[in-house]
Amino acid sequence: MPFVKLNADELILILKQYNHTELHVHHTWKPNHDNFNGKNHERVQKGMRDYHVLTNKWDDIAQHVTLFPDGTFLTGRNFGKQPVSIKGYNGGGNRIPFACEMVGDFDIGEDKLEGKQLDAILKVAKFFNDQNKYIRFHRENAPWKSCPGTGIEKDEFMEQVRNYGKPAQVYWDGSPMRKGQIGRLSILKPINLWKRNSRDEIIYHRVLQPCENYRVYGYDEKHGGQYAVGGGYWVTNMEGYVKYETPSKAKMEALKKL
């Protein structure tokens, strides 16, 4: 199959003609970002194919596509053939997974998956995820490997995939955060929900039940210490009755930018 440059949308149009069973995500490790100059897509790809064919004695380059730092995909192995991707998961017969190699070394402290490259893999991964097709990291079935890199957490990646294309949001364990939010409160035991009037007196509203969760927008020491949970409502800080958590600094910084 000749090398053909595609953007994510063009690749998805072609993928619709096939019925791949799942998406395999890899990083090349070598070559990495330093080996890409913005123009040498085919030379980098040819180097990988030559190694796979001449050294490993495979019939073609291992992957179906290679994703470059500029967000460009370059085709490799015929899309209708099994890849040399993950041992035991390369398919058989009509069951063929789709293998994508991302140029880069995404282990912690090395290259970062970001910008156009991140956007492209998220868009393609969402295409698979929307069809309930599994997205498999190489290391899931080869634990001695870090591929696609220790700098890419599977849970965070999948959260980005699921939320791709949605209005800008910062998600915390799958729930969108709101402007002004500083934390969240989980109810552990029945406890009163209060409202404050204009004189700052508390007025009983109802009893909160275990497993209810609330965004927290503030805290003050009045009335024994209370969390502001929005809408003028407050929950008293009672040990053993509530659990308060704060988001990561990264999430708070992202929230400020919205």
Q: What is the pLDDT of residues 35-57, one digit of tens each?
A: 999 999 999 999 999 999 999 99
| Rounded Cα gap, residues 1 and 14, in angstroms | 14
pLDDT (mean) for 124-135:
98
Asked if residue 3 lies in contact with residue 76, where contact means CB atoms within 8 angstroms, the answer is: yes
The reported pTM is 0.67
208-235 burial string, b = 16+ CB within 10 Å, else e?
beeebebbbbebeeeeeebbbbeeebbb
* Contacting residues for 240 by C-beta, under 8 A, at least 6 apart: 188, 189
Q: Where are the domains of the chain?
A: 5-166, 183-257
pLDDT at 1 over 70: no
Q: What is the DSSP pairing of strand 98-102 with strand 213-216? A: unpaired
> What tens digit of pLDDT does each residue of 202-213 get?
999 999 999 999
Sheet holding 233-236, edge to edge: 202-208, 191-196, 233-236, 226-228, 218-220
CA atoms within 13 A on the CB side of 82: 12
Task: Please tell me the predicted confidence (pLDDT) of residue 25.
Answer: 98
Residue 3 pLDDT > 90, yes or no? yes
* Fold type of domain 5-166: Lysozyme-like (3.40.80)
**Mean pLDDT on 150-178:** 89
The length of the chain in residues reads 258
Q: What is the mean pLDDT of the chain?
A: 95
3-state secondary structure of 222: helix
SS3 sequence of 128-143: HHCCCCEEEEHHHCCC
Residue range 95-128, pLDDT digits in tens: 999 999 999 999 999 999 999 999 999 999 999 9
Q: Are strands 226-228 and 202-208 parallel, antiparallel or unpaired?
A: unpaired
Tokens of 166: 């949605």
Residue 31, pLDDT above cutoff 90? yes
Residue 4: pLDDT above 90?
yes
Nearest CA to 174 out of 210, 208, 213 is that of 213
